[in-house]
């Protein structure tokens, strides 16, 4: 069985930057441990925006410029980057919450083998839940797992609500 780990948007702006939080900072050690110990293929998503962010649909609803490509905020958190240093991984830039490209890349990497997919990252209630649901829709018979100890939401309440939504959609929560 091929195992895949999806590291969702563990970028500086979501950890301790423009949209960072205490909860995001707190999960870094658990996420680092998960990445270091994971035996399988890793995909790393990057929330990616450009200088015109405030003119986009998302920017009009969330007027906080973040993850502008090439900026410090767009880069991976330094501890996550170090954990990935000895790993082979595929980077996936996405311009919205969920990546429609990610399932295609996983399907190519898996070939005909059975697979399982685990997600960690930020933010539970936006990009983690979006990618988990896209993956569940793409692979309805594949175990999709979210490690809640390696995720943080915008608030604790939204984190818990997103976990409950994923449980309702038959995504396994650790």
Assigned domain for 61 exists: yes
Helix (H) or strand (E) holding 8: strand 2-8
Assigned domain for 148 exists: yes
Assigned domain for 59 exists: yes
**Which has the closest alpha carbon to 110: 35, 41, 171, 172?**
41
Q: What is the pTM of this model?
A: 0.95
Q: In what order do the strands lie in the sheet with 144-152?
A: 89-94, 41-47, 2-8, 115-122, 144-152, 172-173
Tell me the pLDDT band of 96, cut-offs 50, 70 and 90. Answer: very high
Q: What does the block give as tokens for 48?
A: 């990616």
Q: What is the pLDDT of residues 108-143, one digit of tens each?
A: 999 999 999 999 999 999 999 999 999 999 999 999
Average pLDDT of the segment spanning 81-103: 95
Assigned domain for 161 exists: yes
Helices 129-138 & 156-168, crossing angle to 10 degrees? Answer: 10
Task: Report d(CA 48, CA 54) in Å as an integer.
Answer: 13
Q: Say what the pLDDT of residue 65 is.
A: 94
The residue range of the domain holding 47 is 8-173
Assigned domain for 2 exists: no
Assigned domain for 1 exists: no
The CATH number for 34's domain is 3.40.50.850
What is the tally of structural domains in the chain?
1
Q: Say what the pLDDT of residue 2 is.
A: 96
Q: What does the block give as tokens for 164?
A: 């409950």
Taking residue 163's Cβ as centre, other Cβ atoms within 10 Å add up to 20
Assigned domain for 47 exists: yes
Q: Say what the pLDDT of residue 102 is.
A: 97
Assigned domain for 3 exists: no
């Amino acid at each position: 069985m091929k195992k895949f780990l999806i590291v969702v948007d563990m970028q500086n702006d979501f950890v301790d930057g423009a949209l960072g939080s205490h909860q995001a900072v707190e999960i870094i050690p658990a996420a680092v441990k998960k990445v270091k110990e994971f035996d399988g293929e890793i995909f790393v998503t990057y929330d990616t925006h450009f200088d015109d962010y405030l003119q986009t649909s998302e920017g009009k609803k969330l007027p906080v410029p973040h993850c502008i490509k090439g900026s410090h905020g767009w880069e991976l958190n330094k501890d996550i980057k170090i954990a990935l240093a000895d790993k082979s991984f595929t980077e996936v830039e996405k311009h919205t919450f969920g990546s429609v490209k990610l399932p295609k890349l996983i399907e190519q990497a898996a070939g005909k083998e059975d697979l399982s997919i685990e997600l960690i990252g930020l933010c539970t209630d936006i990009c983690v839940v979006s990618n988990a649901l896209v993956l569940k829709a793409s692979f309805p018979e594949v175990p999709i797992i979210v490690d809640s100890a390696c995720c943080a939401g915008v608030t604790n309440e939204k984190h818990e609500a997103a976990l409950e939504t994923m449980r309702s959609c038959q995504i396994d929560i650790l």
